[in-house]
Amino acid sequence: MASLQAVHNIPEICAQLGITDVVLSPGSRCAPLTIAFARHPAITVRTVPDERAAAFIGLGLAQTQRRAVALVCTSGTAGLNYAPAVAEAYFQQIPLVVFTADRPPEWIDQLDGQTIRQADLYGAHAKGSFTFPTDTSHPDAQWHATRLVSEAVGLAEQFPAGPVQVNVPLREPFYPKQGEELQFGPVRVTRELPGRPQLSAAVLQELQDAIRSTSRVLVVAGQHHYDAALLLAVRRFAAAYQVPVVSDLIANLHLPAAASYDQRNRPLGRQDVFMAVPEPGLKEALKPELLITFGQSLISKALKLYLRNAQPAQHWHIQAAGAVADTFQSLTKIVRMEPAGFFDELSVGAPTSTSQLIAGSIPVGPTDSVEPQGFEPFEPSIIARADATRVASGTPRLTWPSTAQLTNTEATAKAAYLKPWLAAENWANGFLQEFMQQPTQPFNEFTAIYQALQHLPDGAALHLANSMAVRYANILGVPAGRTVEVFANRGTSGIDGCTSTAVGAALARPERPVVLLTGDVAFFYDRNAFWHNYPTPNLRVVLLNNHAGGIFRLIDGPRQQPELEEFFETRQPLRAENTARDFGLRYFAVSTFAELESALPVFFAAETGAALLEITTDSPTNAEFFEHYRALVRTSFSH
């Protein structure tokens, strides 16, 4: 079909530019695209009937593989169903190339079936929108079509990555004749080669001097994918300048930085616990003068509000390109670099190769403490007695090989600021450990999730659904030293595609365990995530079913209202057993701690295959227990 050759070339252009996966939803208008992608030998095509689920599955594939994935749908409202995933991809900076089949332009607004205004369909939530030429008979139009697709793929992957729409108007006939073979190419593509900016000597010296001379320097990491070079660079920087580093679980700084990594130098992650302490002295002691941030959003509302109120004199954000948010209302500098490069350059004398850093790290023996130096152990029974906290003794110091030399005055001042951060982290670690192991407590989702997290397989990808699942996990963390990469749809923080995103991740890397921690509303809202024909034996779904939107009992405002149960919680009677049966998931149901303890080892076993663990709890009980936890956090730290 010579008239469709430019359309048939689209898969070849995508393949040459590194796109290997396409998720499409069936339709008639998109038939030329569907057939071309399906017949291309270098591209894996998966069919998902529900466009919303399809788009989030594509997002999960792209998020895991860290390269662009293509979506293909028919005309009309099909493309609108991509919108939630497109918005999530935009704010989470994930590359998607969205091909929306369309009617020819002369039929728009003419009451033709499945016809809407598709040009620039996603507006400000896409990096760009391209319209494929309707008539490609002229050589210039063919050149234009090839160039346009190359530009779209390049724009999607160009930092900061994001979604791009290519609207493809198509006229009939759509289908090749029986026995007709499609030809792909030849095509000429345009590739983008990334560069790496470096700081000039003068700017580097200026930044180093500012960090050395400022006593209260704090690094805060937002959401970020796992990056081995970044882990090493941040730890070396923290040790060189004796600077506390605070990160949410989705920043992925909790992972071991090397095989011989000194656990005593891990970033702090208990801010959701100690930031809830109503102690003015603690808040004043933690207040930074220079705040250095990188990454995307924070989960911890307490930390976010604290930093907004703290108003540091300087706030530097590290980001290679793109718009920068002034989240804490204190931004003074934007450093246009990748975070790993920034921390490497600022760490004076840091070795440049990974092997040097690993060889130079401090081995930890089996009997060594995993607490940072300067911590005082948490005193047992503080939960029962609500004792006052104790301040760490000695001079804290973060240990990692470095040639950076601080003067005695600089080192003393930085130690005085580092000390309360380490003490607060240590207190929170001990508090959580004792609180979660109370022998007598009602069956509740907070403790159930704590126990599930202890059983996570090493090397797993942990996907956290929005609402309470991501909040619980951020408080509790994953076991120290466990290699678990964490994902969450925190670009828009919606519940609409959390399950589909995890399914995409499971399809992207079938050799890696993928664990989804989700609530009932998010799970049942996105059941079409499983409506496809592709096995995911590596997928485990941990479902918290309290038969309600339980978060509304835990946040101030709705929980005090008489309309809580009907209009906020929206109680529902659903169970997941039928869903598991429909889609071939092995089903586990627990409603006691004994049942949970028995189920977890079997549920996570590799030979179990795709499985769903439904943890049934009572919403009022969950709220009461979590309020008990919050009350003890406040009273246990008070003087």
* Higher pLDDT pick, 278 / 603: 603
- Identify the pLDDT of residue 490: 95
* Tokens encoding 37: 């992608």
Least confident of 244-248, 257-261, 595-599: 257-261
- Residue 23 phi/psi, 5° resolution? -115, 120
For residue 121, pLDDT beyond 50: yes
- Identify the pLDDT of residue 178: 80
Residue 470 CA to residue 300 CA, distance in Å, equals 10
- Identify the pLDDT of residue 350: 35
- Identify the pLDDT of residue 555: 62
| 79, 523 Cβ separation under 8 angstroms | no
- Identify the pLDDT of residue 388: 31
Q: Given pLDDT bands bounded at 50, 70 and 90, which one contains residue 261?
A: low
| 243, 218 Cβ separation under 8 angstroms | yes
Residue 448 CA to residue 88 CA, distance in Å, equals 29
Residues 6+ apart with CB under 8 A from 598: none
DSSP strands (E only) in 109-243: 128-131, 163-169, 217-221
Tell which residue, 421, 406, 429, has the closest CA to residue 374: 421
| 72, 33 Cβ separation under 8 angstroms | yes
For residue 403, pLDDT beyond 80: no
163-169 and 217-221 beta bridge pairing: unpaired
Q: Given pLDDT bands bounded at 50, 70 and 90, which one contains residue 349?
A: very low
- Identify the pLDDT of residue 157: 95
Per residue in 594-604, pLDDT (tens digit) is 999 999 999 99
For residue 367, pLDDT beyond 60: no
Question: How many Cβ atoms sit within 10 Å of the Cβ of residue 505?
Answer: 29
Per residue in 65-115, pLDDT (tens digit) is 999 999 999 999 999 999 999 999 999 999 999 999 999 988 888 888 788
CATH of domain 4-169: 3.40.50.970
Percent of the chain with pLDDT over 90: 69
- Identify the pLDDT of residue 372: 33
For residue 419, pLDDT beyond 60: yes
- Identify the pLDDT of residue 551: 66
- Identify the pLDDT of residue 568: 63
DSSP state of 333: E
- Identify the pLDDT of residue 106: 87
Q: Is-above-0.85 flag for pTM? A: yes
Per residue in 47-68, pLDDT (tens digit) is 999 999 999 999 999 999 999 9
| 108, 134 Cβ separation under 8 angstroms | no
Give CA separation, 314 vs 111, 208, 252, 513, 525, in Å. 57, 14, 25, 42, 43
Residue 521 CA to residue 570 CA, distance in Å, equals 9
Most confident of 16-30, 132-146, 349-363: 16-30
DSSP strands (E only) in 417-505: 461-464, 485-488
Residue 232 CA to residue 477 CA, distance in Å, equals 20
Residues 6+ apart with CB under 8 A from 309: none
- The ranges assigned to domains in the chain are 4-169, 201-347, 438-636
Tell me if 4-169 shares its fold with 438-636.
yes
| 327, 304 Cβ separation under 8 angstroms | yes
Task: Tell me the mean pLDDT in the region 149-174.
Answer: 94
* Tokens encoding 88: 């999530």
Residues 6+ apart with CB under 8 A from 194: 159
Least confident of 46-50, 127-131, 134-138, 204-208: 134-138
Task: Tell me the mean pLDDT in the region 2-14.
Answer: 89
CATH of domain 201-347: 3.40.50.1220
Please state the CATH superfamily assignment of the domain spanning residues 438-636 in this structure.
Thiamin diphosphate (ThDP)-binding fold, Pyr/PP domains (3.40.50.970)
Residue 421 CA to residue 278 CA, distance in Å, equals 15
Give CA separation, 114 vs 30, 62, 79, 102, 211, in Å. 12, 29, 11, 9, 59
Tell which residue, 536, 547, 543, has the closest CA to residue 618: 547
Question: How far does CA 34 lie from the centroid of its chain?
Answer: 30
| 551, 621 Cβ separation under 8 angstroms | no
H or E element that contains 101:
strand 96-102
Per residue in 493-544, pLDDT (tens digit) is 899 999 999 999 999 999 999 999 999 999 999 999 999 999 999 999 999 9
Buried b (16+ CB within 10 A) or exposed e, 118-139: beebbeebbbbbbbbbeebeee
